[in-house]
């Protein structure tokens, strides 16, 4: 009996400072056996954290009414104290006795988690089997992390591969997949370091080193490492929506969320939109500034994209940016044309400050398309239409679509050289540090899910 719950306690010791924590409700029983979960509170890098770990060595970690009661008690404590919650999942399910007791218990847990969503950070760690109602609860956290040996599914997968961590990552459920328990706890701690304790607390401020790289002309890929402090970026959802990137980082020691689009990748899809929207909503919930780096050919516009729900997903993205009240800085480093500018970079997206590289292009349509539409007469009679079209596209980009022209029209706040990017971003963050917004009274917006 004394070794029961050993796996859960070992995992918790990897999370808390010095491996030390205080158990909560330690003596509660489930049908004359110890409850198959260890609940605890302690400190992670000096920040108070509540956590629970399911015990696979206690009746296979099955959930019962009293086991769920322990976790609900932890949620109640976190709600009163404004403390982040880490849930470590490893269970073969619930007691099957023909009654609705276990289902009701999980329903109450899911409700408790939902009530705290956006109030305190919640991180789910899938360290073993997480199935059925447990999967619903785990996936509702702000971030889901998995080990390579974990399984996550709603219904029995029957060896379909859908339960594997790589499937969860590609589906946008898992923010990261880590090698083992030690690695996933390190990732959990790294994320917690960058998050505030709750939605009323300021983000932690830390010491920082300047980045080793400087933004340069022609480099419009992922600029996180050039903007953020050295060794700070934590990439998230890398396997999902691969034409967009999301990462948590710090700039001058203060937490930011960075969203990037890259012109070298494909057009933005429904997955990219969902990835960006989810990340921006998470940052907004905890007042973490969002820096959006824009260089994209725009949104996918073909039959396959339409059938996959691209319009619905892109509308969600537009609504998310417009509704977010956290600091929003747009950095246009390449093309920001058409709906992409309106949705994630322009004033219509609610950007507080728009910065553009002097080589950026900002216009209703891409230069190649604009030439055909606006300057078709100039193409008539050209000996080599392709060469002429390319020349006119360059002219359009340097004139009507230039960053300078956009600034003259009030669509851009600052036009800078690429080498000045980090300084410009830092200045904008400092300016907007005291941002205050009063919204219209309503329950919530009605984004199309």
- CA–CA separation, 155 and 31 (whole Å): 26
Residue 285 · residue 116 · CB < 8 Å: no
1 pLDDT band (50/70/90 cuts)?
Answer: very low
Is 423 in contact with 431 (CB distance < 8 Å)? no
Q: Could you give the CA distance from residue 44 to residue 116 in angstroms, rounded to a whole number?
A: 20
> Which of helix, strand or coil describes residue 122?
strand
Q: Whole-angstrom Cα distance, residue 399 to residue 363?
A: 10
Per the model's pLDDT, the better-predicted residue between 32 and 429 turns out to be 429
What pLDDT does 297 receive?
A: 85
Q: What is the C-alpha to C-alpha distance for residues 372 and 378, in angstroms, rounded to an integer? A: 9
Residue 159's pLDDT is: 67
Q: What is the pLDDT of residue 375?
A: 84
Q: Rounded to whole angstroms, how far apart are CA atoms 137 and 118?
A: 15
φ, ψ of residue 126 to 5 degrees: the values are: -95, 105
Q: So what's the pLDDT on residue 220? A: 61
pLDDT, tens digit, for every residue of 255-298? Answer: 999 999 977 667 899 999 999 999 999 999 999 999 999 999 88
pLDDT of residue 168: 96
| Whole-number Å distance between alpha carbons of 66 and 117 | 23
Beta bridge partners of 416: 357
- Which of the four pLDDT bands, split at 50, 70 and 90, describes residue 347? confident
Check pLDDT > 60 for residue 359.
yes
Phi and psi at residue 404, to the nearest 5°: -65, -45
Residue 423: partners with Cβ closer than 8 Å, 6 or more residues away = none
Q: Which domains does the chain have, with CATH numbers?
A: 6-194 (3.90.226.10), 224-360+402-431 (3.90.226.10)
Question: Which pLDDT belongs to residue 384?
Answer: 78
Structure tokens at 39: 């609940």
Phi, psi of 425 (to 5 degrees): -65, -45
Residue 16 has a pLDDT of 98
Q: What is the pLDDT of residue 411?
A: 95
Name 268's Cβ contacts closer than 8 Å, sequence gap at least 6: 243, 244, 261, 296, 298, 299, 300, 314, 340
Instruction: Give percent above pLDDT 70 in the chain.
Output: 94
Q: Give pLDDT tens digits for 197-249.
A: 999 998 889 999 999 889 888 776 678 989 999 988 999 999 999 999 999 99
Residue 93: closest CA among 67, 119, 124: 67
CA distances from 59 to 8, 9, 33, 35, 443 (A): 13, 16, 8, 9, 43
* 350 within 8 A of 386, measured Cβ to Cβ: no
For 90-99, the pLDDT digits (tens) are 998 877 665 6
Residues in the chain: 449
Locate 429 and state its tokens. 């963050």
**φ, ψ dihedrals at 51, nearest 5°:** -150, 150
For the segment 312-334, the average pLDDT, to the nearest whole number, is: 94
- Percent of the chain clearing pLDDT 90 (strictly above): 67
Rounded CA-CA distance 331/342 in Å is 13
Decide: 2 and 16 in contact? Cβ < 8 Å: no
SS3 187: helix
In a 3-state reduction of DSSP, which class is residue 125?
strand
pLDDT in tens, 50-101: 999 999 999 888 888 889 999 999 999 999 999 999 999 999 887 766 567 7
Residues 56 and 7 sit within 8 Å (Cβ to Cβ): yes
Mean pLDDT of the chain: 91
Cβ atoms 339, 317 nearer than 8 A: no
Measured N-to-C along each axis, helices 65-81 and 101-116 cross at an angle, to the nearest 10 degrees, of 10
Looking at residues 3-14, what average pLDDT do you find?
A: 92
CA gap 416, 404 in Å, rounded: 10
* Least confident among 105-109, 115-119, 404-408: 105-109
What digits encode the pLDDT tens for the residues 130-170? 998 899 999 999 999 999 999 999 887 666 788 899 999 99
> With 80 as the cut, is the pLDDT of residue 428 above it?
yes
């Amino acid at each position: 009996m004394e070794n029961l719950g050993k796996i859960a306690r070992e995992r918790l010791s990897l999370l808390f400072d010095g491996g030390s924590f205080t158990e909560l409700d330690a003596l509660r029983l489930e049908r004359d056996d110890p409850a198959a979960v260890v609940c605890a509170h302690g400190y992670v890098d000096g920040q108070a954290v509540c956590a629970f770990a399911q015990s696979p060595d206690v009746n296979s970690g099955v959930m019962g009414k009293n086991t769920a009661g322990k976790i609900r008690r932890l949620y109640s404590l976190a709600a009163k104290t404004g403390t982040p919650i880490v849930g470590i999942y490893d269970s073969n399910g619930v007691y099957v006795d023909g009654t609705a007791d276990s289902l009701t218990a999980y329903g109450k847990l899911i409700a408790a988690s939902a009530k705290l969503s956006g109030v305190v950070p919640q991180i789910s760690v899938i360290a073993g089997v997480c199935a059925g109602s447990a999967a619903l609860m785990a996936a509702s956290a702000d971030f889901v992390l998995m080990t390579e040996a974990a399984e996550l599914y709603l219904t029995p997968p029957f060896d379909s591969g859908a339960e594997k961590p790589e499937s969860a990552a590609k589906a946008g459920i898992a923010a990261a997949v880590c090698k083992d328990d030690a690695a996933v706890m390190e990732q959990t701690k790294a994320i917690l370091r960058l998050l505030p304790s709750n939605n009323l607390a300021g983000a932690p401020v830390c010491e920082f080193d300047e980045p080793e790289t400087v933004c340069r002309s022609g480099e419009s890929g992922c600029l996180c490492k050039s903007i953020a402090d050295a060794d700070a970026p934590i990439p998230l959802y890398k396997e999902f929506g691969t034409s967009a990137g999301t990462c948590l980082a710090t700039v001058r020691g203060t937490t930011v969320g960075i969203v990037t689009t890259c012109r070298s990748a494909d057009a933005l899809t429904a997955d990219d939109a969902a990835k960006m929207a989810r990340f921006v909503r998470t940052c907004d919930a905890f007042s973490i500034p969002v820096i959006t780096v824009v260089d994209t050919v725009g949104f996918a516009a073909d039959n396959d994209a339409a059938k996959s729900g691209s319009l619905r997903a892109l509308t969600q993205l537009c609504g998310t940016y417009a509704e977010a009240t956290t600091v929003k800085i747009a950095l246009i480093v390449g093309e920001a044309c058409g709906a992409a500018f309106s949705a994630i970079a322009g004033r219509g997206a609610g950007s507080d400050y728009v910065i553009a590289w002097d080589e950026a292009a900002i216009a209703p349509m891409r230069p190649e398309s604009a030439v055909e539409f606006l300057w078709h007469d100039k193409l008539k009679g050209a000996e080599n239409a392709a060469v002429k079209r390319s020349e006119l596209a360059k002219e359009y980009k340097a004139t009507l679509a230039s960053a300078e022209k956009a600034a003259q029209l009030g669509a851009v706040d600052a036009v800078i050289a690429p080498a000045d990017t980090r300084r410009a971003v830092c200045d904008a963050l400092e300016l907007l540090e005291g941002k205050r917004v009063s919204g219209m009274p309503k329950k919530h917006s009605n984004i199309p899910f």
